[in-house]
Chain A
Amino acid sequence: MSTSEALAAAQAARDAAANIEIPQEARDRARELAWEDGLIELALQQGHSLAEVWQALRGNIDGATAKQFLAGGGSIARPDFWWMKVPTEWGIKARASDPEMGLTIGDLNIGTYGDIPDVWYNRSEIARGSFPTPTVEDMGYTIYDKALIWADCCVPLYEVAIRDRWVSSTDLRWNSLEPLPDDIEKAVCQLMTEQSERAYYQGALLSGWLPEISYGYLELKLFLSTVIYDVARHAEAFRKRALSNGGGLGLQAPTDYNRVLQECRTFPELLATMFVQDSMLLTLFKNGDKIAQNQLERDMYALCARDRQRIMDYQIERMKHFLWKLPDRRDEQNLYFGKAEARMVKEWGDSVVWEPLAILLGGGKDRMDSGKAKLQGLRKQQVQDYVANLEKATFFRSNLNARFKDLIGG
């Protein structure tokens, strides 16, 4: 570059710099870092971009250092790489413990990265195991106690949920659907209308609780994300079934049970209350062959049952862990179960809930007697499984709902 070219370039840089409006916050920051007046302009005149200046300001480069660098013609965004030296655990080589599953989040829980604390104290969104910034805003999480929410199984279940994912649009053979008798098709559609709403509501509800859970329990949050995605797909698959074979949507689901979920004040209360429906729906879908009218429905219920089994596994282990850690809170759980059972009994008695099931089990509205008997058998199975699931969670229900008791004859 000739001298005249260099002078022209320098003048051009000065002209350009003169046209750049320097934001007030950059000036404020510079003042905090004791930059002399005019130093920002000098940097711009020397051809540094505003971004580089800002970089230096964010990097806490003090005025003296910045001036020194500019005098030497160097970069003002001088890195010091302090983050390379933070005292976190280094040298981690996680390896897949089960080659079939690949590298799982469970495989990462080694060394200090596997410490899942009983109480998590950091109120920011810091990744568990990274080096904390000393002063941070409170992000507003409310759940900091492992005893309230944790179950070890959420770690493997997260990866299993991903492995077992399915897609309703292509994994179910929609072309195989054949017309059904009118009353049966409408019974399927009514059941689908109800279940689609229940699934969608459960997804929306759980989603709303995610921002309450702190990073200490990362794996649980990841697992809950799979649950939310599972029930989203259930809501969608059920709707598709209702709208693909000559029927439509029927009457919306009863709202008594969902409202009691909505009313929960804490996440552990929600999980206890939801335990009842999670168990009942698992048994329902496990018995899907009895209500299915074709292969598509059999497949759909089986896939839903497989997803719901993971939720139940978490629910059981969470409750067991909770009761073990917080034995004083055992009796309190009876209150939540009691409320939830009462609402469920009310909904089971709703004709728009039980009649479609009786039609499907019996094989038509003219075979309601047989359908009702079979439904009674299914309800009994649901309650037995529920009580058994509670027992697996080391909970023995002291005042099981009277109607449930009648059903299981005890």
Chain B
Amino acid sequence: MAANPTIEPGLDLSWLNLYDEPATATPGKKGLTLKEINAGRYSDAARGGGDMTYRMRGAVARPGAHRFGPNYMSKSDVWSENCIMLYEEATQRQWASARDIPWDTLQPLPDEIERAMCQLCTMLTEVEFIAGDVPGQWLPFISAQDFEAGLFLMSQIMDEARHTDVFRKRALVNGGGLLAQGAGLGLRTLLEARDFTEMSVLMHVQAEGFVQSMFRMGELIGQTEADKRIFRMSAQDESRHLAFGVMHLKYVLDTDPDRAEEIHHYLDKAEGDASGGGSGDVTFPPVFESLCILLGGGVEKFDEGVQKFLLLRKRQINEYAHRLDVAGLNRRNRFGPLMAQFVDPV
């Protein structure tokens, strides 16, 4: 047998001596989740300092390991106490737009209704596209010491791909097509964030919060069983993205309360875009008008739709205010007038 050129002669085997604390995680009610293995020296609580080498938390550092460029050295910059649970929930609740939406049941709709739904889907498929880019942009900055936050964002990328595809499918399945681009939605502000927490507050809490409040009104917006189901399934995913953001903000404020004013500053700017900005900006005329047609039930009932739209705005803003309360950021007296007018007294 020729000498094996990729196996060094002699044995080392010193790596067999690295194991001091036997890890014996056993499955819980939901199987063997990241929660069960989050124990002892491998747990997030045992996280040491930062690490730029992609060494997974708890692995023994390799002498001479390369650094891979700067990332966040402190856990509070990226962590959310629910990311472990949210990641596992994401794996359990994946769905397939190809088969889980009853496409066959769609029937031709009145032209104006179909156009309104297609316009809304054109906007949403555009928004969801950015919703994948934004967490993608931040993954290289998350230390592998906090890998569960990273895994969660990777599951979000998958969720947003599915949302991008399901709204495109809806626009192209029932005799319609895509309509007007939703430019002006303020999506670029999400990519412009220069800090993870800034991004998370703008995207997860504000923009996805607004989108979520809209999806939760999907029973009123959707005109068919398939449409309602699209909103229901998407809302299920958005609730995870939102929960990550709210709990990340809470973690930041709990561990680094001095950042509160800085975070207010980001939101002052974003809310200064009058309507709330971000991807939940439903005041862009094609979006506003299509929503009013859908909510009202036709062009004829546009005024009724406007009233329901105002309810939606009210709901969006109040839920947003409530989420910020939960995270520990009191902004109720800082909202600009366009938002403040909708906020109910606590």
Interface flags for B256-272 (1: CB within 8 Å of A; 0: not) read 00000000000000001
Given contacts A75-B303, A130-B180, A197-B144, contact A22 B30 (CB under 8 A): no
Is A349 in contact with B7, judged by CB distance below 8 angstroms?
yes
> Which residues in window 281-314 of B have CB below 8 A to A?
283-286, 288-290, 292, 299, 302-303, 306, 310, 313
Is A127 in contact with B183, judged by CB distance below 8 angstroms?
no
Q: How many A-B residue pairs have CB under 8 A?
A: 409
On B, residues with C-beta under 8 Å from A are 1-2, 4-8, 11-13, 15-16, 18-27, 30-34, 36-37, 39, 41-42, 53-56, 58-62, 65-66, 68-69, 87-88, 91-92, 94, 96-99, 101, 103, 112, 115, 119, 122, 125-126, 129-130, 132-137, 139-140, 142, 144, 147, 150-151, 153-155, 157-158, 160-162, 164-165, 168-169, 171-181, 183-184, 187-188, 191, 272, 274-275, 283-286, 288-290, 292, 299, 302-303, 306, 310, 313, 336-338, 341-342
- Bound: A204/B157 CA distance, A: 11
The 8 Å CB contact of B56, one of A130, A252, A354, is A252
Tell me the smallest distance from the CB of A113 to a CB of chain B, in Å. Answer: 6
List, in ascending order, chain B residues with CB within 8 A of A243's CB: 23, 25, 37, 39, 42
> Which residues in window 46-104 of A have CB below 8 A to B?
49-52, 54-55, 58-60, 75, 77, 79, 81-84, 86, 88-96, 101-104
Is B94 in contact with A162, judged by CB distance below 8 angstroms?
yes
**Is A302 positioned at the interface, with any CB of B under 8 Å from its CB?**
no
Interface flags for A226-246 (1: CB within 8 Å of B; 0: not) read 101101110110011011111
Name the residue of chain B whose CB is nearest to the CB of A407.
B5
- Bound: A91/B240 CA distance, A: 35
* Interface residue range, chain A: 35 or more
The 8 Å CB contact of A201, one of B19, B54, B134, B174, is B54
Is B165 in contact with A222, judged by CB distance below 8 angstroms?
yes
List, in ascending order, chain B residues with CB within 8 A of A137's CB: 188
Name the residue of chain B whose CB is nearest to the CB of A126.
B181
Is B154 in contact with A232, judged by CB distance below 8 angstroms?
yes
The 8 Å CB contact of B338, one of A23, A168, A259, is A23
Most buried by B among A51, A222, A236, A352: A51
Would you list 7 pairs from A and B whose C-beta atoms are within 8 A, ordered by A residue?
A: A22-B337, A190-B15, A226-B158, A229-B157, A246-B24, A354-B8, A376-B1
Q: Is the interface of A mostly helix, strand, loop or mixed?
A: helix
Tell me the smallest distance from the CB of A241 to a CB of chain B, in Å. Answer: 9
- Bound: A158/B21 CA distance, A: 41
Is A247 in contact with B179, judged by CB distance below 8 angstroms?
no
List, in ascending order, chain B residues with CB within 8 A of A55's CB: 283, 285, 288
Is A21 in contact with B283, judged by CB distance below 8 angstroms?
no
List, in ascending order, chain A residues with CB within 8 A of B142's CB: 204
Name the residue of chain A whose CB is nearest to the CB of B184.
A133
**Is A172 positioned at the interface, with any CB of B under 8 Å from its CB?**
yes
Tell me the smallest distance from the CB of A139 to a CB of chain B, in Å. Answer: 6
Name the residue of chain B whose CB is nearest to the CB of A205.
B140
List, in ascending order, chain B residues with CB within 8 A of A162's CB: 94, 96, 98, 162
Is A249 in contact with B132, judged by CB distance below 8 angstroms?
no
**Is A7 positioned at the interface, with any CB of B under 8 Å from its CB?**
no
The 8 Å CB contact of A351, one of B8, B272, B341, is B8
- Bound: A125/B69 CA distance, A: 28
- Bound: A372/B10 CA distance, A: 11
Given contacts A355-B12, A365-B13, contact A129 B178 (CB under 8 A): yes
**Is A170 positioned at the interface, with any CB of B under 8 Å from its CB?**
yes
Tell me the smallest distance from the CB of A318 to a CB of chain B, in Å. Answer: 18
- Bound: A21/B340 CA distance, A: 10
The 8 Å CB contact of A170, one of B7, B31, B133, B275, is B31
Name the residue of chain A whose CB is nearest to the CB of B51.
A252
- Bound: A201/B147 CA distance, A: 10
- Bound: A181/B127 CA distance, A: 53
Tell me the smallest distance from the CB of A369 to a CB of chain B, in Å. Answer: 10
Name the residue of chain B whose CB is nearest to the CB of A368.
B11
**Is A20 positioned at the interface, with any CB of B under 8 Å from its CB?**
yes
Is A131 in contact with B289, judged by CB distance below 8 angstroms?
no
Given contacts A51-B283, A94-B173, contact A203 B139 (CB under 8 A): yes
- Bound: A52/B341 CA distance, A: 12
Is A244 in contact with B11, judged by CB distance below 8 angstroms?
no
- Bound: A254/B11 CA distance, A: 18
A50-B341, A130-B181, A244-B25 given; 6 more Cβ-contact pairs under 8 Å: A58-B284, A136-B181, A174-B27, A207-B136, A222-B164, A251-B15
Is A406 in contact with B5, judged by CB distance below 8 angstroms?
yes
Most buried by A among B4, B130, B289: B4
Tell me the smallest distance from the CB of A366 to a CB of chain B, in Å. Answer: 11
**Is A292 positioned at the interface, with any CB of B under 8 Å from its CB?**
no
Is B165 in contact with A105, judged by CB distance below 8 angstroms?
yes
List, in ascending order, chain A residues with CB within 8 A of B157's CB: 207, 210, 225, 228-229
List, in ascending order, chain B residues with CB within 8 A of A139's CB: 187-188, 191
Name the residue of chain B whose CB is nearest to the CB of A187.
B16
- Bound: A262/B251 CA distance, A: 30
Tell me the smallest distance from the CB of A299 to a CB of chain B, in Å. Answer: 13
Given contacts A215-B129, A244-B37, contact A131 B179 (CB under 8 A): yes
- Bound: A251/B61 CA distance, A: 6
List, in ascending order, chain B residues with CB within 8 A of A279's CB: none
The 8 Å CB contact of A372, one of B7, B37, B101, B177, is B7
Most buried by B among A137, A183, A352: A352
Name the residue of chain A whose CB is nearest to the CB of B289.
A79
List, in ascending order, chain B residues with CB within 8 A of A409's CB: 2
Is A169 in contact with B115, judged by CB distance below 8 angstroms?
no
- Bound: A356/B32 CA distance, A: 25
Is B8 in contact with A197, judged by CB distance below 8 angstroms?
no
Tell me the smallest distance from the CB of B243 to a CB of chain A, in Å. Answer: 18
